[in-house]
Chain A
Amino acid sequence: MLIRDIIENSGEKYPEIPAIRWLVKKDIVDRTYRELLDNVKKIRKGLLAKGFAGKHISIIGVSSVEWMESYLGIMTGKNVAVPLDAGLPAEDLIDLINRSDSEGLFLTPKAEKLLEPVLNHCSALKNIWMLQEEGFVVPGEVSALAAEKNVIISDMTDFLEDGKIPADAPDSDRPAPDDIATIIFTSGTTGKSKGVMLTQNNLAANVESVDYESEPGSILLSVLPIHHAFCLVMDWMKGFSLGATICINDSLLHMVKNMGVFKPGVMLMVPLMIETIYKRLAAADPSIPKKVIADNVFGGRLHTIFTGGAHLDPYYIDKFEEYGVEVLEGYGMSECSPVISSNTVKEHKKGSIGKPLCNAEISFDNGEILVKSTSVMAGYYKMPQETEETLKDGWLHTGDKGYMDEDGFLFINGRVKNLIILSNGENISPEEIENKLALGELVGEVIITGENNGLTARIFPDPEVVQAKGYSEEEVKTELQKFLDEYNKAQPTYRQITGLVVRKNPFIKNSTRKIKRQDVLIDEPIEA
């Protein structure tokens, strides 16, 4: 199965249903499945006509109709799409364009200032297309530089303008199921980011294996970054397979407002979003019925939120249920296209990350979750050693520790890579302890590190609680120490916390809001 089969199938079945919906100022605009397919075909043919066959093409931008049409135009033919995080600094983007061997680039007009550095430093590029339908004017100095470097800069009229791509122009052959469709760079908290190579079949199998059904034309609001596999595959490809209308959230500033505008039934979120929305729900006047509050915040039709990417405190699952919204947690990683397991409408268990998808087989190696699946990546682009370390005998080593209960639900209780190995030979999963300590009233954020042959808790106290109780710095430390003393009482010696660092600032996070563990010892050392 190919993503091209999936979208062509929806195009045939639901030609008049809006596939993509977005806002232009305050007006709602739609692209039907028929129109989407027409544009995708024009871009695919246009790329072929310009000599792009078997090439790598980067895309830089936030969610937009142009982004998605370009992405599909690339990967439904014989080319490889490389979505990049538009929020990265120019030097990182240049590095990724070069490391992915991209010869073409689709670029959001908002990142116009990237043109010059990209032209100067990405020598393999032959074409740059700005992600806007028409009217992009190349600034004079950039135009001269592009001419010097032999790079053509244009916009989407290059493909979409009437007559630009003749109807009888040859279309690209269909890719083979094992062809690489996309390279997604992992945000990786350590070292150099890795380009995850996903095949056509990897992606299509993930779309088909996620157990979720909805009526054609059902509304889905996409709020996650589109260059992440979770958003790209589950919001978009899965949404297309169902004939859903996928609405674009123009900014995180407007997430709640846009729920009111688009009235989605389903959304995908990371836990942080759920926590933030809950603050709005909880702040409402308690005398107002919860149904009214929910309609006001969620737009009136939201019934399901799928979440993943980080651990969600099950507390929120209960709380959202009170407002009529079911929160279903799942688990995955880019290397697995991305979903490995998920709670479903029919089968779910609070605190678990659900049952493995039907295409996934799970095994454990010293507690580490291993996955064998038709969605497991082909490898990391040009990183044979890292590939070998992660893919062994066909098993993907996830780096996460977990277990499966008697009903077949998967649970996570730590990460192999963060394992603390003490000199007495004991292995400690810091996340397991962190999850327990995080329940402390005064604990805002906590990271456990192994130091001086013992465990240290680095705690950023919850500023709200500190404020509410009027604690001084000294009192905060005393209270936290009392809490740790109490915790230690119930633990074997090797799991006791022997050091405490009270942090002045929250931990540094990466772009997916995960704490950058390698930085915690550097930015506020133990003497702090």
Chain B
Amino acid sequence: MTSEMQFKKIVGQYCEVAPEDMTNDLRFREDLGFSSLDFMSFLGELEDEFDVELEEEDALKILTVGEALELLARLQEEG
């Protein structure tokens, strides 16, 4: 499974949007209906799944699927 598919599978736990419909412009809270705590929990899952460490303050600024994917890619590169 690619990183992006893995990522979208985790997103899918918190909403009912199919991975193929998960476009980068979708906002977690407004479009995907994440509660504030869903979003925190989701970030925690990203850390575990991709073995990265998120700075809470930065991570909480993420609004869209695309921004989260970008941050993830950057952290994996820095790895």
Give the CA-CA distance A444 to B59 in the complex, in Å. Answer: 25
Contacts of A255 in B (CB 8 A): 40-41, 44
Least distance between B59 CB and chain A CB atoms (Å): 7
Q: Which stretch, A48-56, A178-186, A246-254, touches the partner chain B?
A: A246-254
* Smallest CB gap from A258: residue in B: B44
Give the CA-CA distance A398 to B43 in the complex, in Å. Answer: 37
Counting CB contacts under 8 A, is B47 at the interface?
Answer: yes
A462 and B41 contacting across the interface, CB-CB below 8 Å: no
CB neighbors of A among B25-51 (8 A): 29-33, 35-38, 40-41, 43-45, 47-48
Counting CB contacts under 8 A, is A283 at the interface?
Answer: yes
A444 and B33 contacting across the interface, CB-CB below 8 Å: yes
A505 in contact with B47 given A252-B41, A467-B16 (CB within 8 Å): no
Give the CA-CA distance A467 to B14 in the complex, in Å. Answer: 13
A464 in contact with B48 given A251-B56, A276-B38 (CB within 8 Å): no
Give the CA-CA distance A444 to B30 in the complex, in Å. Answer: 12
Counting CB contacts under 8 A, is B17 at the interface?
Answer: yes
Q: Residue A257 contacts which of B30, B33, B44 (CB distance < 8 angstroms)?
A: B44
Contacts of A513 in B (CB 8 A): 36
Counting CB contacts under 8 A, is A468 at the interface?
Answer: yes
Counting CB contacts under 8 A, is B2 at the interface?
Answer: no
Flag A465-509 by CB within 8 Å of B: 1 or 0 each.
Answer: 101100000000000000000000000000000000000011001
A256 in contact with B44 given A251-B56, A464-B15 (CB within 8 Å): yes
A276 and B44 contacting across the interface, CB-CB below 8 Å: no
Give the CA-CA distance A467 to B21 in the complex, in Å. Answer: 10
Counting CB contacts under 8 A, is A272 at the interface?
Answer: yes
Contacts of B33 in A (CB 8 A): 444, 462-464
Contacts of A254 in B (CB 8 A): 44, 47
Tell me whether chain B's interface is mostly helix, strand or loop, or mixed.
helix
* Smallest CB gap from B37: residue in A: A276
B15 and A467 contacting across the interface, CB-CB below 8 Å: yes
Give the CA-CA distance A8 to B54 in the complex, in Å. Answer: 40
Contacts of B21 in A (CB 8 A): 467
Least distance between A27 CB and chain B CB atoms (Å): 15
B41 and A256 contacting across the interface, CB-CB below 8 Å: yes
Number of interface residues of B (CB under 8 A): 26
Contacts of B29 in A (CB 8 A): 506
* Smallest CB gap from A276: residue in B: B37
CB neighbors of B among A391-444 (8 A): 444
A276 in contact with B41 given A251-B56, A467-B15 (CB within 8 Å): yes
Give the CA-CA distance A279 to B11 in the complex, in Å. Answer: 11
Least distance between B68 CB and chain A CB atoms (Å): 13
Give the CA-CA distance A506 to B15 in the complex, in Å. Answer: 15
Give the CA-CA distance A283 to B14 in the complex, in Å. Answer: 8
Q: Residue A275 contacts which of B30, B35, B44, B45 (CB distance < 8 angstroms)?
A: B35
Contacts of B17 in A (CB 8 A): 464, 467
Give the CA-CA distance A283 to B17 in the complex, in Å. Answer: 13
Counting CB contacts under 8 A, is A280 at the interface?
Answer: yes
Give the CA-CA distance A254 to B53 in the complex, in Å. Answer: 11
Contacts of A506 in B (CB 8 A): 29-30
Give the CA-CA distance A444 to B45 in the complex, in Å. Answer: 24
Least distance between B14 CB and chain A CB atoms (Å): 6
B48 and A463 contacting across the interface, CB-CB below 8 Å: no
Contacts of B36 in A (CB 8 A): 272, 509, 513
* Smallest CB gap from B44: residue in A: A253
Counting CB contacts under 8 A, is A345 at the interface?
Answer: no
CB neighbors of B among A251-274 (8 A): 251-257, 272-273
Give the CA-CA distance A509 to B35 in the complex, in Å. Answer: 11
* Smallest CB gap from A254: residue in B: B44
Q: Residue B16 contacts which of A277, A468, A509 (CB distance < 8 angstroms)?
A: A468
* Smallest CB gap from B21: residue in A: A467
Give the CA-CA distance A275 to B14 in the complex, in Å. Answer: 11
A272 and B54 contacting across the interface, CB-CB below 8 Å: no
Flag B41-79 by CB within 8 Å of A: 1 or 0 each.
Answer: 101110110000010100100000000000000000000
* Smallest CB gap from A460: residue in B: B33
B13 and A252 contacting across the interface, CB-CB below 8 Å: no
* Smallest CB gap from A260: residue in B: B48
Contacts of A251 in B (CB 8 A): 40, 44, 56
Give the CA-CA distance A254 to B17 in the complex, in Å. Answer: 24
B35 and A257 contacting across the interface, CB-CB below 8 Å: no
Give the CA-CA distance A272 to B35 in the complex, in Å. Answer: 8
B15 and A253 contacting across the interface, CB-CB below 8 Å: no
Q: Residue A272 contacts which of B31, B37, B44, B48 (CB distance < 8 angstroms)?
A: B37
Give the CA-CA distance A467 to B29 in the complex, in Å. Answer: 14
Give the CA-CA distance A509 to B43 in the complex, in Å. Answer: 21
Give the CA-CA distance A251 to B47 in the complex, in Å. Answer: 13
Between A and B, 16 residue pairs with Cβ closer than 8 Å are A253-B40, A253-B44, A253-B47, A255-B44, A256-B41, A256-B45, A257-B44, A257-B48, A272-B35, A276-B35, A279-B14, A283-B13, A463-B31, A505-B30, A506-B30, A513-B36
Which residues of B pack against A, CB within 8 Å? Answer: 12-17, 21, 29-33, 35-38, 40-41, 43-45, 47-48, 54, 56, 59
7 shortest interchain CB distances as A-B pairs? A463-B33, A283-B13, A253-B44, A252-B40, A276-B37, A464-B16, A468-B16
